[in-house]
Structure 1
């Protein structure tokens, strides 16, 4: 078998060969351009994806925080409504003369005419 080295082979300088080499160079340049464009798009896509993910995670944490605040506010609202109902009831009771008299006798040790008030240590009003 005969072996040929590149030194022994001469290339034809025809128009076809020149055109073929030119086409190979153009194809190689297109490939490099394609790889560069793909790399640029990949970088841009990665930056945009990172920005979107960071925005989504920050929004989710904000939503979770707002949810906690909402629960706290609902709890506070329920307590306030309960206190409002108690105060309305108390205001309604304060319009009653008998209730006012009872409070005056209990807290201020006042008495009606002819009534004597005794305070004992075992009384439940302490």
Structure 2
């Protein structure tokens, strides 16, 4: 019999009392629910704005880092090129000094163009480079 009573009590609906207190509590609950919904929406919008700003800042920093690394590589390449040019400039200055020397010019002209002074006879001999090339081939 007790099971019949439990079923009956479960099936009965209790009607709520509609007085001022109950209505004010219901209105307060609706207001709190509405406030939570609006708060959630504001926090969502604020979170999206922060996320977008973070993405923008991150992409800007990444792009600047890439640009800086490219500029650093270009700078290193330019420094290497500058060193080469400075070495070449030193060599050219030395060559200018040598070319201003008449004895060097005469020696260079005799060597390169087979010019001779009066009474000189020119004999050509193989270059040392050709001898060096021949030596390894004989060893093998």
TM-score (norm 2): 0.78
| Structure richer in helix, relative to its length | 2
2:23 corresponding residue in structure 1: 18
Deviation at 1:42, TM superposition (A): 1.1
Equivalent in 105, 108, 111 of residue 106 of structure 1? 111
List gaps (5 residues or longer) in structure 2.
131-140
1:97 corresponding residue in structure 2: 102
> Structure 1's 118 and 107: CA in aligned 2 closer, same or farther, altered over 3 A?
same
Deviation at 1:102, TM superposition (A): 0.8
Are 1:118 and 2:123 matched, yes or no? yes
TM-score (norm 1): 0.86
- Runs (4+) of structure 1 exceeding 3 A deviation are 1-6, 123-126
Per mean C-alpha deviation after superposition, the further-off stretch among 41-50 and 71-80 is 41-50
Deviation at 1:103, TM superposition (A): 0.6
Deviation at 1:7, TM superposition (A): 2.5
List gaps (5 residues or longer) in structure 1.
none
2:67 corresponding residue in structure 1: 62
CA distance in 2, matches of 1:125, 1:98: 26
Deviation at 1:125, TM superposition (A): 8.5
Aligned residues: 124
2:137 corresponding residue in structure 1: none
Equivalent in 35, 46, 55 of residue 50 of structure 1? 55
Deviation at 1:115, TM superposition (A): 1.6
> Structure 1's 108 and 20: CA in aligned 2 closer, same or farther, altered over 3 A?
same
2:83 corresponding residue in structure 1: 78
Equivalent in 2, 13, 19 of residue 7 of structure 1? 13
Deviation at 1:61, TM superposition (A): 1.5
